[in-house]
Amino acid sequence: MSLQKIKRILFVVNQKPDVIGGHLISAVSLAASLVQRGYEVGVLLPKLRSYIPELHQPNLRLHEVPAVPGLQVLLFFQKIASTVRQYQYDAIVAMDLKAIFQVVPTLLRSAPLLVQVQPGGTASKRPYFKQPGILVFSEEIRHHLVSNCGIVPEHIVLSTGRVNFKNYQSLPSKERALLSYREDTLRLLTISRLVPSKVQAINHLFDEVEEVGKSRRVDLIVIGDGEVRHSLEKRSAQIHAATQGNVAITFLGAFRVTANELQQPDIVIGQGRTAVEGIAAGTPVAISGSDGYFGLIRLSNLSELISTNLTGRNIAWRGHLLDDLELLDRCKSQEFSSVQEQMFRQFDVSQGAVAVEKALMSLSYAYPNVTSLRRQYLRAAFSDLLPSAAVNMPRELITHLTHLIVKAGRCILNRGTEANPRI
């Protein structure tokens, strides 16, 4: 299949309906950029409880899976298959591990090209189809897949691009000051899912805020929600008491931030996409990750932080918020514009759209016809995915997936090796 014949692309994202994850926003940004490049693009995801403006833009199809407890896995399998069949999608971009598993039956039956994306953190072992078309957002993740997962380097496309900088360069709205800061305070903002995997990063930030609060007033606003919110609110109350009211930490829940919110604080603190969006909006950004607090993004540390997907993972040095405050004015006046320019070159979504095309091209070269593609998917489902999945996913899901793979394999054998007019 030549790239010219790939006209319809489906992004699949599987996450909890009450979560606004960075990989979801990245999927929508990439999808919209590919629409501008002339493709028909859809996004398939659970029906969300929050409103995401980017999902409701012209020419971007939205395919929602109803949230039904106990049936979500089956509904996803069914929705992917029916959507690909109805809209004749030529390719699927699976944005997370669950999505990769859930597209398998559709791959075996309809044989669209599969781009596999790992946008965020790493794990000790990730089951992947060990084939071309794997897209990663950082050199750290690329190294992990090669060293720990046995992925051939030539099968991986590295691209950090996933943020539309134009969406964050509007002027602040005087009519909608959504973030409420006290007068004469240091204004901080962090955006994160409040889930166990993010607790360490948030607690490192809380440590720094408490230290600053010993000598001056600090307002930290937290946007996000999740199961660990209560414990974090409890700790924030302890910090408020320990600093005699100097530190006020306010939790606003989860909603999609805009340039309006990102331009109101003195510093945005976070990691990954939050850091890119803060810089895009024109606000200095500091990195706080699971390994520690790393401080302001500066020209001197930018390339090293980018290599970790702006998380600071495995970086030896650490920073301190007190030191950042001394550097803040100088950084804003002397180097912020250069940092912003370099971030644009690295992270603008146009780069990511080109990377998706590159991944699709590598797949079309590797599997020139539908028969070879189906055979690869069948082989990979058993040799690559299921052995690793046995230790990473619920047993009932593995059993169900195995039945689906066997059933799809029988269908392939029964259908023979007829040519697919789309490939």
* DSSP codes, 329-383: HHHHHHTHHHHHHHHHHHHBHHHHHHHHHHHHHHHHHH--SHHHHHHHHHHHIII
Average pLDDT over residues 202-217: 97
- Per-residue pLDDT, averaged over 301-311, amounts to 93
**In this structure, is the dihedral angle defined by the CA atoms of residues 144, 146, 147 and 150, taken in order, positive or negative?**
positive
Is the confidence at residue 37, as pLDDT, over 50? yes
Tens-digit pLDDT profile for residues 94-125: 998 888 888 988 998 889 999 999 877 665 56
For the segment 368-396, the average pLDDT, to the nearest whole number, is: 74
Measured over the CA atoms of residue 160, residue 163, residue 169 and residue 171, the dihedral's sign is negative
| pLDDT at 421 (0 to 100) | 38
Q: What is the pLDDT of residues 237-268, one digit of tens each?
A: 999 999 999 999 999 999 999 898 999 999 99
The rounded mean pLDDT for the chain is: 87
More confident residue, 382 or 115: 115
Q: Which amino acid is at 127?
A: P
Chain mean position to CA 146: 20
pLDDT of residue 361 exceeding 80, the answer is yes
Nearest to 325 by CA among 193, 226, 411, 218: 218
The structural domains of the chain, ordered by start, are 3-164+349-415 (3.40.50.2000), 169-346 (3.40.50.2000)
Structure-token pair, residue 280:
């895009």
Helix 22-36 / helix 349-366 crossing angle, nearest 10 deg: 80
CB 142 within 8 A of CB 136: yes
Residue 210 and residue 243 in contact, taking contact as beta carbons nearer than 8 Å: yes
The whole model's pTM is what? 0.86
Q: In the structure encoding, which two tokens stand for residue 271, read together?
A: 């990691």
Tokens 């940092």 sit at which residue? 339
In terms of pLDDT, which residue wins out, 51 or 292? 292
Terminal-to-terminal C-alpha distance of the chain:
5
Tokens of 2: 């030549």
Residue 420 has pLDDT above 60, yes or no: no
Average pLDDT estimate for 185-190: 96
Angle, CA of 38, 276 and 205, to the nearest 5°: 150
